[in-house]
């Protein structure tokens, strides 16, 4: 009889969901034609496995031994530890290749690398050294007998086996996080709100797409989205009024963390009847005296464009300034004005043309912003993950 369940006991109930991942890995190995392991490749691996088994057996004995009751002198039943019985521990080790049980930290490390697609940024987020992180992931891959990451490119990419693992891992980790969060904030377990902001370019198509996907998974969570300038997003994140931003790298904001998503090329957008509509490329100098609609000067994108105009020696005729992308696009559609807008903000349309600009080409690097040291909830992390995936699609 178990007389009490401590925090680790409740943690175990959530951790069992993550153990389902191992069954999927065995299926993946069989599907890939990998032969099951029969023994150990080296004496050192055999020694390590034996040492781990001995540790498991000793841990089970300690966890399941009766405890003295200091008040009555009677022997009390053991607390529920990571697993409650010796046989369960042995069975779990036998189910994992190499006899080594996958721990929660391995799954957290795997998820952080899959999310950031970079070992260095993942190590910084997890507050571990890159060598430690690399060693743990290599250990996980060796124990599963599968390669989880493709390291042949600048960005680390998931392999097919890694994608399968993450598809099973995300729900399990989210359930663990929800359970732990429910212990600390019972009233927030089934409801809540996340507050994010985005600049105009991303709030036209990318952010609504991500919010739609988020609400399909979390219908009880309210999402508050503001469309703000990059400077105002940084200010509201620093003050704690926002939890996540989609913007550009702020200047003189050391209290904020910036995670770049991709390089964004700004293009000349004109109506199909505009004199430049048939051009394949346009040089910046050719926009001298061109009638244009642009963002006001308080926007960092406008400052970037002004620098590009100065570098090329061009002075456009700015006939209108609008602080939102959607009305700019509509004004371009109905007049002879041209605009410079990120292509990701322009929906495909037969009556509009997006033309690359060169000499110089205006390029920005959008990314995710949040306050350093802030406690990001699982819901905010999920929204950030959706934005990463959507941005990767736009970049591709």
**Residue 116 CB neighbours (<10 A):** 19
Beta bridge partners of 222: 193
Question: Whose CA is closest to 200, among 232, 224, 227, 226?
Answer: 227
Q: How far apart are CA 227 and CA 229, in angstroms?
A: 7
- The model's pLDDT over 113-170, given as tens digits with 9 standing for 90+, comes to 988 888 988 888 888 999 999 999 998 888 888 899 998 877 888 999 888 888 888 8
In CATH terms, 264-363 corresponds, of 3.40.190.290, 3.30.2320.50, 3.40.630.30, 3.40.1350.10, to 3.40.190.290
- The model's pLDDT over 35-49, given as tens digits with 9 standing for 90+, comes to 444 444 444 455 445
Assign a CATH topology to domain 7-179. Answer: Arc Repressor Mutant, subunit A (1.10.10)
Residue 151 phi, psi (nearest 5): -100, 15
Instruction: State the CATH architecture for 191-258+366-395.
Output: 3-Layer(aba) Sandwich (3.40)
What's the whole-number mean pLDDT along residues 236-241? Answer: 92
Using the predicted structure, report yes or no on whether residue 299 has a pLDDT greater than 50: yes
Average pLDDT of the chain?
77
Start-end ranges of CATH 3.40.190.10 in the chain?
191-258+366-395
Torsion over CA: 167, 247, 195, 322 (sign): negative
Structure pTM?
0.50
Q: How far apart are CA 355 and CA 225, in angstroms?
A: 30
Start-end ranges of CATH 1.10.10.10 in the chain?
7-179
Start-end ranges of CATH 3.40.190.290 in the chain?
264-363
């Amino acid at each position: 009889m178990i007389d009490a369940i401590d925090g680790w006991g409740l943690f175990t109930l959530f951790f069992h969901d993550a153990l389902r991942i191992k069954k999927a890995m065995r299926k993946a190995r069989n599907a890939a034609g990998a032969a099951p392991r029969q023994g150990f490749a080296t004496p050192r691996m055999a020694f390590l496995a034996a040492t781990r088994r001995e540790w498991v057996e000793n841990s089970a004995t300690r966890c399941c031994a009766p405890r003295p009751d200091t008040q009555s002198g009677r022997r009390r039943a053991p607390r529920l530890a990571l697993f409650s019985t010796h046989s369960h521990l042995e069975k779990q080790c036998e189910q994992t290749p190499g006899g080594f049980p996958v721990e929660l930290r391995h799954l957290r490390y795997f998820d952080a690398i899959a999310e950031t697609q970079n070992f260095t940024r993942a190590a910084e987020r997890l507050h571990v050294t890159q060598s430690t992180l690399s060693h743990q992931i290599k250990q996980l891959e060796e124990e599963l007998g599968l390669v989880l990451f493709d390291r042949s490119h600048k960005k680390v990419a998931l392999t097919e086996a890694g994608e399968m693992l993450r598809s099973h891992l995300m729900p399990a980790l989210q359930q663990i996080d929800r359970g732990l969060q429910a212990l600390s904030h019972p009233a927030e377990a089934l409801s809540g709100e996340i507050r994010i902001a985005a600049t105009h370019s991303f709030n036209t198509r990318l952010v609504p797409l991500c919010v739609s996907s988020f609400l399909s998974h979390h219908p009880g969570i309210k999402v508050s989205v503001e469309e703000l300038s990059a400077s105002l997003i940084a200010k509201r994140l620093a003050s704690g009024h926002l939890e996540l931003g989609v913007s550009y790298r702020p200047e003189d904001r050391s209290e904020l963390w910036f995670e770049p998503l991709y390089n964004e090329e700004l293009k000349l957008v004109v109506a199909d009847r505009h004199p430049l509509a048939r051009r394949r490329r346009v040089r910046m100098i050719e926009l001298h005296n061109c009638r244009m609609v642009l963002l006001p000067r308080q926007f960092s994108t406008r400052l970037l464009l002004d620098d590009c105009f100065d570098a090329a020696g061009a002075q456009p005729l700015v006939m209108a300034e609008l602080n939102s992308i959607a009305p700019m696009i509509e004004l371009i559609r109905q007049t002879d004005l041209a605009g410079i807008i990120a292509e990701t903000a322009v929906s495909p349309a037969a009556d509009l043309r997006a033309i690359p600009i060169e000499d110089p080409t205006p390029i920005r690097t959008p990314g995710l912003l949040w306050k350093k040291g802030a406690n990001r909830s699982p819901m905010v992390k999920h929204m950030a993950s959706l934005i990463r995936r959507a941005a990767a699609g736009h970049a591709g």
